Each structure stands twice: as C-alpha cells, then as structure tokens.
Structure 1
Amino acid sequence: LVGALALFGAMDAQSGFKLGANLGLPVGDLSTGYGFSIGADASYLWPVAADFNVGLASGFQTYFPKSEYKDYGVKNVNLVPIAASGQYRFTPEFSLTVDLGYGFAFSDGESDGGFYYAPKAAYHFGPSEVNLSYRGISADGGSSGSVNLGYAYSFGK
C-alpha cells in the first residue's frame, strides 16, 4: 500500500487515467456465430519520452451470438484483458497504441485464455479521443477478434 501511494504521489501531471467504450464487429472464427460486441476499457499511461507513453490497460468485452445461434444455446463470450500498453503520438491529434498481454475469456461457466493484442489508431480532441482498433486473442493455434470503433476520455491531461 505504501509503495502504491508513493507511486501515485510521484506521477507526472501529464500522466493520466483513461476510460472508454466501444462497439465491435467480430472477425475470423468469432464471426461465424457472433454478430457484434460492446466493451469498456480502462488504462493508465505514464510519459517516458516527449511523444511516448507506457502503462497498463484492462477492460471488459462481450461478444453477442447471432440470433439464429441463440436457439442452439450459444451464449455470450466475455473477454477481460490484462495488458501492457504503449502509445506513440505522431501529432497532438493522432496516436497509435498497442496493448499486449493475456486475455481471460469466459462463457457460461467455461473459461479459457490466451495471448491478447490490440493495436489502435486514435484521433484526439482535447481530453477525448475517437479510435479504431482490432482486439484479438490467440490460443491453441487459433485466433479470434473484432474490429472496434470507440470513444475514450482522459482524466488528468
């Protein structure tokens, strides 16, 4: 607790907590049975250079089955990633971010997981951003993912 308080007390004014939401379309293996997804994201980034920030990212994404598959008992799939995040700002308005880590996937009492990756391009305006991202998870030789359109707000910037 003392270490966490010291870390938060030493944070630069440029660092910040970011909350966001997104809508997505499943691609790859997921697109067969799932029609869309919604999610929420949270991250904390620290500046390490003038235009480069690193930090931690997490969130919650739910993939909803297509209506014709609900009759067969297909349930929502949920994804909770825990990832390291790196963001490079090319200009004050445009950035690229990559999150890499582990994604915990679960559905109806079953759980699994795998390597999580999420590249994102964002347009910033004030403390807000609109972003386009790909969110994927690779496990056991296969991969699943979605293309997402999102909005995020940065606190402390």
Structure 2
Amino acid sequence: MKSTFKISALILAFAGITLGAKAQTSTSTTKTSTSSNGVILSVGVDAGIPTGNLSTYYNFSIGGSVQADIPVAQNLFVTLNAGYNSIQGKNNIASPNGATTFDATNIQLLPVKAGLKYFVVPNFYVQGEAGAAFSLSKADNNYDKSAAFIYAPQIGYQFPLGGKSYIDAGVRYEASTKFNSTIDASKVNFFGLRVAYAFGL
C-alpha cells in the first residue's frame, strides 16, 4: 500500500512539472530536439522511490547524472548516461526477532548506461537504457560483487526554452541484478524522476 502511494505521488509530481512547464512554454513554433542535427548534452537531478524488498530498508534515492543524446536517424538518438545515486537507508529498523533495531547503510552507486531515445511525437519520447551500476559501498553493504547489470525503461518530455536549450523531464523504472549472489534482496529497484537542463552543441 505504501509503495502504491509513493509511486502515485511520483507520477503526480511528474505530471505537475509537465503542466507547469507547459504553461510557461510559448505557443510559437520552436525548433525542438527531434529535428536537431547535433549532439544534445544534459545535466540533471535524479530522485527515486525504492520498490520491492529495497523499500523495506530504504526511503528514497537522490543523485545526479550527465547524458549525451547523439542523433542517428530522424527522431532517434543514441544515449550515453553516467551518474551517481545515493539510496538513503531507514533508521531504527526492527531486527527479525524484534529485540533490537538497526540503521540501514546507505547504498552508493555509479550507474553507467547506454540506450535509445525515440520521439514518438514532437517533444514526447520513450527511452530504453542498459548498463552497469558500480558500488562505492561494497564492503559496507556486504556485497560480493563490485557491479551489477541495470536496465531502465523511461518516458519523458522536452520543454523548449528557446534556441537549443530545453528542460528534459523523465520518469523511469530502474532495476538491477543482485549485488550479492546469495541475497535476492541485494537487487536495487526503484521508480525514478530525472529533471535536467539540456542544450544542443
């Protein structure tokens, strides 16, 4: 029930950003990234809500990322993305026997992904990426692997700011394989929101 509420809140937040930015966007015709012939770079803030077993011990994730969109065909881009995620642990979690409590150790990750971004209609896109997340807290989190495979389907919208500048807002589901081969709960899965400033070269 809590996860459903958090996911709904994230979707509503994205909708609010979309409507707010849409209201401030001029109705005049603006050249969008879908017709761009050059590379688009973006720098963004990332936030997320853990799902599944991860939500038992973790509250949210926060971080940032840089991304390059490289045009390969009309409305189609290859994406390269690298970032940092800090997944914040909960405090005073009851142990299985209920006798003691503990604080979950934050998970620190460096995700590196590549994928495809396709504009279905002007400004609105679907995106799929895959890659690896490298753990910066392997020992603290009792992982036996330094990295795990990740994948992230996403939808988003680019709001033209004028010239070759945009606000790029997207919602994604990001999931990983296990960081500890014997612990299923070592998967890192979350719903994420990325809001970035993008500019064409």
Report if TM-score (shorter chain) is over 0.5.
Answer: yes
- Aligned partner (choices 18, 42, 53) of residue 42 of structure 2: 18
Cα drift, residue 67 of structure 1:
2.4
Secondary structure at 1:67 match in 2: coil
Cα drift, residue 13 of structure 1:
4.9
- Aligned partner (choices 148, 161, 170) of residue 114 of structure 1: 148
Secondary structure at 1:38 match in 2: strand
Deviates more, 1:142-151 or 1:84-93: 142-151
Query: Identity over the aligned pairs, expressed in percent?
Result: 28
**Does the Cα contact within 8 Å between 1:75 and 1:108 map onto a contact in 2?**
no
Alpha-carbon distance in structure 1 between the residues aligned to 2:93 and 2:110: 23
Equivalent AA in structure 2 for residue 128 of structure 1? I
Cα drift, residue 22 of structure 1:
2.0
Offset from partner CA, 1:67-115 (integer Å, 9 cap, x none): 2249624211011111212101111221011111111123274463211
Aligned to 1:133: 172
Higher gyration radius (CA): 2
Offset from partner CA, 1:5-42 (integer Å, 9 cap, x none): xxxxxxx8521111111221101221110011112111
Alpha-carbon distance in structure 2 between the residues aligned to 1:150 and 1:102: 18
- Aligned partner (choices 52, 57, 60) of residue 28 of structure 1: 52
Q: What number of residue pairs does the alignment pair up?
A: 146
**Does the Cα contact within 8 Å between 1:119 and 1:133 map onto a contact in 2?**
yes
Aligned to 1:55: 79
Alpha-carbon distance in structure 1 between the residues aligned to 2:83 and 2:61: 13
**Does the Cα contact within 8 Å between 2:47 and 2:192 map onto a contact in 1?**
yes
Alpha-carbon distance in structure 2 between the residues aligned to 1:108 and 1:144: 13
- Return 5+ residue gaps in structure 1 as ranges: 1-11
Aligned to 1:124: 158
Q: Which has the higher helix share?
A: 2
Per the normalisation by structure 1, the TM-score is 0.82
- Residues 1:102 and 2:146 aligned together: no
Alpha-carbon distance in structure 2 between the residues aligned to 1:54 and 1:40: 20
Alpha-carbon distance in structure 1 between the residues aligned to 2:85 and 2:133: 10
Per the normalisation by structure 2, the TM-score is 0.66
Aligned to 1:4: none
Deviates more, 1:103-112 or 1:72-81: 103-112
- Return 5+ residue gaps in structure 2 as ranges: 1-35, 95-100, 161-165
Aligned to 1:153: 197
Secondary structure at 1:144 match in 2: coil
Equivalent AA in structure 1 for residue 84 of structure 2? F
Equivalent AA in structure 2 for residue 135 of structure 1? E
Q: Which has the higher strand share?
A: 1
**What do you get for the CA RMSD once the two structures are aligned?**
2.2
